[in-house]
Amino acid sequence: MDVTHDTQAQRVFDYIVRPYCSSGHDADFLDEAWAGVLARNAGFKLESLSVESTDWTFDSEDAMTQYAHDLFSLQTSHPQVRELLQRWVKPYAAQGRWVMPWSLGFYVFRKA
């Protein structure tokens, strides 16, 4: 499994981590075509790809902001991290908790 192209996770890395982390994160993310090319080059066949919701939940918006700030080693203020998350990921309150939408691509490869 990995971060997949055109998901909230990719937007976090492209628009929050890359510009606000000293080590950045300049990467191309997998999609079905790219995964197929890599598989063929390694002698495998891409059997399936599914993008599944793997949302993160937090006790509060502050806890979510702190977690993102620390996990991604962001070098910016907490108010700006909160603003960036709202812009690119669109977290929301649900049942007294905060949900940060997230998803991962699940890839199954088979040896050809």
- Write out pLDDT tens, residues 77-92: 999 999 999 999 999 9
Sketch the domain layout of the chain as residue ranges.
8-111
| 48: its two tokens | 């399936």
pLDDT by residue for the chain (112 residues), tens only, comes to 888 998 989 999 999 999 999 888 887 888 999 999 999 999 999 999 999 999 999 999 999 999 999 999 999 999 999 999 999 999 999 999 999 999 999 999 999 7
Q: Considering the entire predicted model, what is its pTM?
A: 0.84
Cα–Cα dist 84/17, whole Å: 10
What local confidence, expressed as pLDDT, does residue 18 receive? 93
